[in-house]
């Protein structure tokens, strides 16, 4: 097992400081949003705590595939679709068809006095509802009417192809205030007294001019490669929502805001002295709306609604099951929003929900782990459920959710697993969670012996020695110790040669071992890095190794220059014959069959005596076995 660390695990990163303490999974208030997989009626406060979200009253217009724009009107809603049709939607869910513009898309609604106007693309048509009847109000020269804007009892149309701004009169007359060839579309507008700001597509231009002099168009900033989708006045500053127009395919799973940075969707602040990013997301911003001195922000691909206050406070207001929140609208200070899933329109109330559920991301403990105790830091009633598995994406192989746990230092009964997911239940409208931590311990992994070899060779100090060497891998990088044993091949009893070795080689002189066929065993243990209850070992054995410490028997006869005889060994083959006369040089010779491949070998050779003086001489014969054990036998003879 790896040296176990006391680690704070923020899901996306883990550092290791080794000790024998368990590791921890920690959900901290600074990371709760980033590490969320799914949120149900969950809010995150400005100080980062998990809380129950306000109640969202929803109306589902199931008959409509997608609501592209909507407008709250006297307890009902007008909804425009991506087929150019207009519907009335009651809070009971009843949907009534009102009008078919036969255009591609309804882009916006605006209430202007007793009338309601709707803009469309791609033919520059604007429709009006007077009483209960819809009709074509005007067709302007620009093809795309992106937004209708009402200010100081005047109505404006923000347009594209060409980019232009029109002032509309109640009688249907059109006054083109300005047109620009520098950009293709104007998308957004803010009128503050005599001052006007216009935001464009693609080039990200923000222009400024005065209603009294629309010909004097001033470029105040260029947010390159972005669409300026909305502009708001917030106190004395201007807030701009900009999306990078080149990032249509960039939809990561995370919807975590970053303060003071630029990303795919960014909220900018323009003051008298500075232009700076306030808040950004790795997805498109769909809409923004002023609320209580802050900015409400909705995102593409998620039902999360954020509220940004000041320069360092961002709250998750709600996490509704609506799909993308495509638009936000206010009516008498009540916030409404439109979701893409099942064409839901939601009303954000001031009443807290009774409960909320937070699902963490699945996180990886590295390998199979045993979970320990749970600790919670919060207020109200909070329970936690846990499930584990051994594949990264939860499937049918994962365990079921554990029973709810609501007490500190309580162990959670779940099966061991490599991957872990937490479900946090906030039970009660006042419940809040600041921190949850779960201890775990990686289960130890057994060492793996990949090689265990033996080699018999001469010992520099005399005799023969057996060199044992091995290679062992440990996935946990544990410190290992080794023990070496042997047994006779026909015995089951193992005898220790050495233990607590920390090197990967061991040598033993054959004279310290019994003769015969021996088997050597290596035992690798990770006890140096683990508690005794968690220690694991691995074993490996060699093939048969012969130990022969006995010299062969040698018998010979020498007469008239004829040398004959035999050598015999009980364990290994005879490997060498040599003779010498009168202490001269050793002369090697072979067996009768010239093979030297058996334990008994006979020999018969002629020895030349022609160079010897007459008299008594001595011949010595040496026979050596396969383990270097030698026998010398000498005899005297006489030459005449």
pLDDT digits 0-9 by tens, 83-135:
899 999 888 888 889 999 999 999 999 999 889 999 999 999 999 999 889 99
Give yes or no for a contact between 145 and 185, defined as CB atoms under 8 angstroms apart. Answer: no
Give residue 246's pLDDT: 62
Q: How confident is the model at residue 255 (pLDDT cuts 50, 70, 90)?
A: low
Give residue 21's pLDDT: 56
Reply yes or no on whether the pLDDT at 245 is more than 50: yes
pLDDT (tens digit per residue) in 370-407: 888 888 889 999 999 999 999 999 999 999 999 888 76
Integer Cα distance of 328 and 289 in angstroms: 7
State if pTM tops 0.75.
Answer: no
In a 3-state reduction of DSSP, which class is residue 528? helix
For the chain, what's the residue count? 640
Which of the residue ranges 307-321, 339-353, 556-570 has the most confident prediction, judged by mean pLDDT? 556-570
Q: How confident is the model at residue 490 (pLDDT cuts 50, 70, 90)?
A: very high
Percentage of the residues of the chain whose pLDDT score is greater than 90: 51
Reply yes or no on whether the pLDDT at 299 is more than 70: yes
pLDDT (tens digit per residue) in 13-33: 223 223 345 788 888 877 888
Q: Pick the residue with more confidence: 616 or 348?
A: 616
**Residues with Cβ < 8 Å from 550, sequence gap 6 or more?**
515, 569, 570, 571, 629
Task: List the one residue out of 393, 385, 337, 377 whose CA is nearest residue 357.
Answer: 385
Percentage of the residues of the chain whose pLDDT score is greater than 70: 93
Integer Cα distance of 571 and 83 in angstroms: 97
Give residue 310's pLDDT: 67
Q: Pick the residue with more confidence: 124 or 262?
A: 124
Give yes or no for a contact between 256 and 316, defined as CB atoms under 8 angstroms apart. Answer: no
Give yes or no for a contact between 95 and 63, defined as CB atoms under 8 angstroms apart. Answer: yes
Q: How confident is the model at residue 627 (pLDDT cuts 50, 70, 90)?
A: confident
Give residue 13's pLDDT: 28
Give residue 474's pLDDT: 95
Region of residue 485 (phi > 0: left; psi between -120 and 50: alpha; otherwise: beta):
beta
Integer Cα distance of 529 and 535 in angstroms: 8
Reply yes or no on whether the pLDDT at 55 is more than 80: yes
Q: How confident is the model at residue 423 (pLDDT cuts 50, 70, 90)?
A: very high
Q: Which two tokens stand for residue 497?
A: 């040669």
Reply yes or no on whether the pLDDT at 316 is more than 90: no
pLDDT (tens digit per residue) in 515-566: 999 999 999 999 998 888 889 999 999 999 999 999 999 999 999 999 999 9
Reply yes or no on whether the pLDDT at 575 is more than 70: yes
Give residue 624's pLDDT: 95
Q: Which two tokens stand for residue 207?
A: 């222009």
Give residue 234's pLDDT: 86
Reply yes or no on whether the pLDDT at 247 is more than 70: no
Integer Cα distance of 72 and 75 in angstroms: 7
Q: How far is CA 56 from the centre of its chain?
A: 33
Q: What is the mean pLDDT of the chain?
A: 87
């Amino acid at each position: 097992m790896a040296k176990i660390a006391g680690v704070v695990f923020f899901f996306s990163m883990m550092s290791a400081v080794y000790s024998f303490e368990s590791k921890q999974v920690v959900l901290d208030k600074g990371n709760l949003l980033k590490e969320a997989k799914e949120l149900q009626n969950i809010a995150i406060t400005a100080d980062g705590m998990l809380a129950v979200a306000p109640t969202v009253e929803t109306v589902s217009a199931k008959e409509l595939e997608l609501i592209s724009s909507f407008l709250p009107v006297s307890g009902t809603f007008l909804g425009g679709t991506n087929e150019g049709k207009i519907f009335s939607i009651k809070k009971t869910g009843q949907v009534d068809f009102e009008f078919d513009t036969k255009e591609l898309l309804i882009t916006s609604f605006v209430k202007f006095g007793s009338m309601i106007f709707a803009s469309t693309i791609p033919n520059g048509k604007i429709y009006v509802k007077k009483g209960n009847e819809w009709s074509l109000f005007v067709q302007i020269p620009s093809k795309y009417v992106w937004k209708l804007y009402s200010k100081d009892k005047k109505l404006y149309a923000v347009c594209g192809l060409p980019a232009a701004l029109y002032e509309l009169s109640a009688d249907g007359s059109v006054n083109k205030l300005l047109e620009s060839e520098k950009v293709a579309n104007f998308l957004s507008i803010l009128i503050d007294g005599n001052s006007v700001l216009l935001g464009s597509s693609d080039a990200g231009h923000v222009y400024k001019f005065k209603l009294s002099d629309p010909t004097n168009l001033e470029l105040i900033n260029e947010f390159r490669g972005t669409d300026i989708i909305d502009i708001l006045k917030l106190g004395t500053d201007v807030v701009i929502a900009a999306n990078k127009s080149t990032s249509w395919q960039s939809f990561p799973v995370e919807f975590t805001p970053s303060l003071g940075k630029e990303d795919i969707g960014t909220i900018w602040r323009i003051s008298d002295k500075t232009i700076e990013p306030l808040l950004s997301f790795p997805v498109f911003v769909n809409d923004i709306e002023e609320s209580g001195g802050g900015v409400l922000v909705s995102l593409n691909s998620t039902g999360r609604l954020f509220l940004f206050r000041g320069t360092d406070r961002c709250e998750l207001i709600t996490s509704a099951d609506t799909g993308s929140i495509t638009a936000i609208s206010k009516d008498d200070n009540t916030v409404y929003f439109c979701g893409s899933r099942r064409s839901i329109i939601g009303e954000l109330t001031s009443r807290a929900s009774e409960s909320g559920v937070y699902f963490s991301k699945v996180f990886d403990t590295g390998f199979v782990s045993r979970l320990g105790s749970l600790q919670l830091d919060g207020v109200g009633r909070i329970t936690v459920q846990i499930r584990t598995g051994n594949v990264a994406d939860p499937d049918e192989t994962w365990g079921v959710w554990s029973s709810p746990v609501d007490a500190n230092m309580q162990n959670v009964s779940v099966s061991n697993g490599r991957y872990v997911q937490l479900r946090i239940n906030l039970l009660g409208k006042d419940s809040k969670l600041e921190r949850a931590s779960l201890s775990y311990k990686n289960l130890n992994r057994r060492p793996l012996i990949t090689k265990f070899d033996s080699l018999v060779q001469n010992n520099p100090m005399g005799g023969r020695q057996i060199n044992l060497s091995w290679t062992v891998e440990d996935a946990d990088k544990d410190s290992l110790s080794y023990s070496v044993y042997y047994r006779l091949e026909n015995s089951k009893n193992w005898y220790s040669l050495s233990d607590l070795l920390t090197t990967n080689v061991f040598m033993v002189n054959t004279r310290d071992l019994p003769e015969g066929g021996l088997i050597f065993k290596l035992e690798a243990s990770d006890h140096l890095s683990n508690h005794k209850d968690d220690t694991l070992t691995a074993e490996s054995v060699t093939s048969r190794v012969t130990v022969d410490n006995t010299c062969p028997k040698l018998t010979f006869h020498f007469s008239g220059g004829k040398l004959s005889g035999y050598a015999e060994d009980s364990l290994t083959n005879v490997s060498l014959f040599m003779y010498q006369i009168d202490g001269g040089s050793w002369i090697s010779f072979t067996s009768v069959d010239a093979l030297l491949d058996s334990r008994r070998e006979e020999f018969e050779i002629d020895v030349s005596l022609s160079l010897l003086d007459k008299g008594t001489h001595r011949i010595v014969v040496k026979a050596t076995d396969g383990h270097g054990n030698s026998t010398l036998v000498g005899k005297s003879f006489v030459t005449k």
